[in-house]
Structure 1
Amino acid sequence: MKGSLRWKPDQTSKIPIFKQIAGHLKERILSGEWTAGSRIPAQRQLAGQFGVNRSTIVTALEELKAEGLLEGITGSGTRVRSTPAAGPDSSRSLDWDAYIRRGIHMPNLPAVQAINRAEADPAVVRLGTGELAPELIPSGMLQRMLGRLARQPLPGGYEEPLGSPALRSEVSRHLAGYGITASPSSILIVSGALQALHLISMGILRQGATVFLENPSYLHSIHAMPAVHTRMAGIPMDGEGLRVDRLSEHAEDMNGAVLYTIPSFHNPSGIVMSGPRRAELLRFCTEHGLPLLEDDVYRDLWLDAPPPPPIKSMDAGGITLYIGSLSKTLSPGLRVGWVVGPQPVVERLADIKMQTDYGTSSISQALARECLAGGLYEEHLLRVREQLLIRRSAMQEALEQHCQGLLEWSTPQGGFYIWAKVPARSGAKPLFQRMLKKGFLLNPGYVYGPSCGAYLRLSYAYAPIPDMQRGIRELGALLRQ
């Protein structure tokens, strides 16, 4: 029903609201958008989408059931009838729902699906979103660079399997500033860090492989390993990051496994792995032959002090695959990132990428190259850090004013997130649902790990400060209830 997200009933029409809604939903069915056996959205979701009360939705659905278009199935909600009522235009539709259920890629968690839907609603204040606010994206700079590119021959063809040589050279220079030595031949350009994880899962993981990761972890909120059935093994954290001593308890499970970590401004906890802990983790992985996936997309978003050097910068044995991106710092819509690793590995991943999308957009790569060249990216980062400092302070002050004694949190040194613990009597799930009803979206901790039901991920990066302050005030009021 994506194409109808903006539709609303006409409150001034003489046609009753429930009949307008019934007609709209009927159109979705008769056009084939909702096929036989499809489960339609929940009544509460439809009521929120159309801006009406739930009883109006119930009346509209009953009308469609009377027409033989919908049926209620115990335990399965309301679905489009598999066998339409008899009539001159009756025909048996293909049961797409059965195909969907057999698909090998798992669906998102219901909460993540709800978050994705709510983020598309401009009326919702996004208090958990992990991206820069529109006003922090350097639109003017990008437009000027596009203008310069337009005066040159546009790169309209496919790039090399590893990506644009010019961009890979710029990335190589950029990474040298972190202490990472990486020739262009060891760099693969990807369409964001998420694609890097997909390619790694398809290219180097075997069926049933174990993925060690921090608990909590962003990786729990997505299915980034679609090609294989993996086992996620969460390792506890402390103030210095992933606890290597607890990782050693799993030594018998290392065969064919990998370790995934976000050492700088961790998502969702905001923790920065200390320098000694990074060295300890690299030693452990080297001794056990455990490939290390270092996701460093938040590195440049430091606010108080730069994080320690990347693990990759200390890795003389080539055991680390390093993932970077411009999505968190420049523009999520650019869809440009990179994987750095041993040449045979990046060539393997490049071969899979060529089989899936034939390369990241050439125009996006050209634009990314322009951004990284000439100091423009560094200038942009100065402004972003300045604005994120202001936003972090605003959220901290709002939390202290409205949630002191009701939530537990610490101040992150950078990145986007405040990881807040809620009282056991409240729980993140009901708070998530009640806040969403009031027009405020935050991310419940349980999507980041099975043991994180007492946490919320709050982001100071996206919502305007006045909206952020209103949302935190509302959160405090709900906690007091």
Structure 2
Amino acid sequence: MNNQLDRNSDIPLYQQIEQIIKEKILKGEWPVGTKIPSQRKLASIFCVNRSTVTAAIDELTAEGLLEGKRGGGTKVTKYTWSGLASGPALDWTSYVRSGIHRPNSLTIQEINRQEVKKEIIRLGTGELSPELLPYRDMKTILRHAEAEKLTLGYEEPKGNRYTREVIKDRLEQKGVSVSPDSILIVSGALQALQLISIGLLKRKSAVLTERPSYLYSLHVFQSMEMKLCGIPADEKGLDPAVIPACKKQCGADLLYTIPTFHNPTGRQMTEERKKELIRISKQQCLPIIEDDAYGDLWIDGPPSPPLKAFDQDGNVLYVGTLSKTVSPGLRIGWVAGPEPVIERLADIKMQTDYGSSSLSQWAAAKWMESGLYEKNLARIRNKLKIRRDTALRCLEAHCEGIASWEKPSGGFYIWVTFHKPLQIHTLFEKALKKNILINPGTLYDQEARQSIRLSYSYASLSDLEKGIRTIAELARELM
């Protein structure tokens, strides 16, 4: 909306803002009952003083288009002459509130809005920087499309057979032995979790996961009224020894884990603990979702094999993706597990979207089969090492004495915990005013009020230095 203001016009800015909001109301973009952005938010959107926004809101309120209530914000109201003449208006707000899928937290919604701004330094973004994405190799692959393997129609329920065969070969290199019939192609790892939540689990199930965990930042399971139960973890990963007691306490039906380059802590589970986790999983009849989104992104040396490599009983559903290593825009991932489970998830997926993009599936297969994937990984690992080491140097220079962190041996993240209490959301807001975007630790654990997830995969080296220095300054002020 900011771009709609004409600062050279004779029409005052507040009247231009008034007209923009009025058009959104009259065109039905903001229907009756819609809670409009706060005055502070609108001032930020339009890049004007708050008093300018207040003047516009006052005019619209006087016209009967808006109504403000103490503690309830300002909402679109039906009390206009046109509204009274046309009868009751459709209340879309009630529909929005009644949907079963919970909305993102306000902080995540704000992060999603801010990430598109070019001037923002993104210290929390969990994806590769555009300069690290393999545009040239992707063009080469698409330019040499083979007609006999590339189809533009719908694929079979589990996904393109050729692609599943290539993924099978790729998993064998990791020590995971599965057949193509035990693999389902999905539109990214997040869809795998969505399919599992609605296809395998009943409402109000309990799910064990590390604390902190990426899963706490999602509402995939919570939207099905499921309970997340945090289990302790240290520098060696989650502690399998506590699982029996935790399972008994909350009646857990499933365990979700990111054992390799964990999100958000960057840790990796030791091979000994992986084997012990598999043993306890079998003993407790506890299925496991292994999220291996970052497993190929090692920096200091290859990690131990995935959990699935030690699974001889079909207890592990293994989730992989190309979003972190090739392109988030490709939207291709996979689930490997027992064939009956894969068939169930495939049936749910067909009901949901009738299969992932056939073009993306073909491109994914060509990436892995052609040798370009390994070549790209080598390049990415070198770049990530430079970025990680830069971030660590900046932390040592600016955060020594006020925070602690661990050196990750792969992945995207460093978990930074400040030594003294501070208002983490205030830190988030103050940083945002300086065009720096961070991910508060409370997104991954409500009790992590002194932590942030620092990503070194997206921001440039100069932005990493500037961003970390500024965050340190703000943190000192708040502490």
TM-score (normalizing by structure 1): 0.96
Q: Distance in 1 between matches of 2:189 and 2:78?
A: 40
The correspondence for 1:233, drawn from 226, 229, 245, is 229
1:287 aligns with 2:283: yes
SS in 2 for 1:338: strand
The correspondence for 1:204, drawn from 192, 200, 209, is 200
RMSD of aligned C-alpha atoms?
1.7
Contact 1:36 1:80 in 2 (8 A): yes
Q: Displacement of 1:11 after TM fit?
A: 1.9
The correspondence for 1:93, drawn from 69, 89, 97, is 89
The correspondence for 1:176, drawn from 161, 164, 172, is 172
Q: Which letter does structure 2 place at the counterpart of 1:119?
A: E
Match of 2:214 in 1: 218
Q: Distance in 1 between matches of 2:15 and 2:184?
A: 54
Assess, with a 3 A threshold, how the Cα gap between structure 1 residues 175 and 87 changes in structure 2: closer, same or farther: closer
The correspondence for 1:51, drawn from 36, 40, 47, is 47
> C-alpha deviations, 1:453-481, integer Å up to 9, x for none?
11101100001111221111211221232
Q: Distance in 2 between matches of 1:32 and 1:328?
A: 38
> C-alpha deviations, 1:216-262, integer Å up to 9, x for none?
00011011226621010000111111112222212425756000000
Q: Displacement of 1:280 after TM fit?
A: 0.9
Assess, with a 3 A threshold, how the Cα gap between structure 1 residues 361 and 400 changes in structure 2: closer, same or farther: same
Q: Displacement of 1:387 after TM fit?
A: 0.5
> C-alpha deviations, 1:290-343, integer Å up to 9, x for none?
001000010011101111111100100000000000001110011000000000
Match of 2:433 in 1: 437
Q: Note the 1:334-373 alignment, pairs <5 A.
A: 334-373=330-369
Assess, with a 3 A threshold, how the Cα gap between structure 1 residues 191 and 271 changes in structure 2: closer, same or farther: same
SS in 1 for 2:232: strand
Match of 1:108 in 2: 104
Match of 2:314 in 1: 318
Q: Distance in 2 between matches of 1:88 and 1:249?
A: 61
Q: Displacement of 1:88 after TM fit?
A: 8.6
Match of 1:135 in 2: 131
Q: Displacement of 1:425 after TM fit?
A: 3.4
Contact 1:422 1:428 in 2 (8 A): no
Q: Note the 1:111-122 alignment, pairs <5 A.
A: 111-122=107-118
The correspondence for 1:192, drawn from 188, 211, 217, is 188
Assess, with a 3 A threshold, how the Cα gap between structure 1 residues 184 and 36 changes in structure 2: closer, same or farther: same
SS in 2 for 1:301: coil
Assess, with a 3 A threshold, how the Cα gap between structure 1 residues 151 and 203 changes in structure 2: closer, same or farther: closer
Contact 1:104 1:226 in 2 (8 A): no
The correspondence for 2:243, drawn from 247, 265, 287, is 247
The correspondence for 2:152, drawn from 150, 156, 176, is 156
Assess, with a 3 A threshold, how the Cα gap between structure 1 residues 135 and 395 changes in structure 2: closer, same or farther: same
Q: Displacement of 1:85 after TM fit?
A: 4.2
Q: Which letter does structure 2 place at the counterpart of 1:437?
A: K
Unaligned runs of 5+ in 2: none
Contact 1:180 1:313 in 2 (8 A): yes
Assess, with a 3 A threshold, how the Cα gap between structure 1 residues 400 and 89 changes in structure 2: closer, same or farther: farther
SS in 2 for 1:7: helix
**Comparing 105-114 and 151-160, the one that deviates more:** 151-160
Q: Which letter does structure 1 place at the counterpart of 2:43?
A: A
Q: Distance in 2 between matches of 1:120 and 1:140?
A: 23
Match of 1:30 in 2: 26
TM-score (normalizing by structure 2): 0.96
Unaligned runs of 5+ in 1: none
Fraction of identical pairs, as percent: 48
Number of equivalenced pairs:
477
Q: Distance in 1 between matches of 2:467 and 2:171?
A: 38
Contact 1:420 1:456 in 2 (8 A): yes
Q: Distance in 1 between matches of 2:247 and 2:222?
A: 25
Q: Note the 1:330-409 alignment, pairs <5 A.
A: 330-409=326-405
SS in 2 for 1:27: helix
Q: Distance in 2 between matches of 1:144 and 1:479?
A: 46
Q: Distance in 2 between matches of 1:87 and 1:269?
A: 53
1:269 aligns with 2:265: yes
Contact 2:63 2:80 in 1 (8 A): no
Assess, with a 3 A threshold, how the Cα gap between structure 1 residues 366 and 93 changes in structure 2: closer, same or farther: same
**Comparing 152-161 and 299-308, the one that deviates more:** 152-161
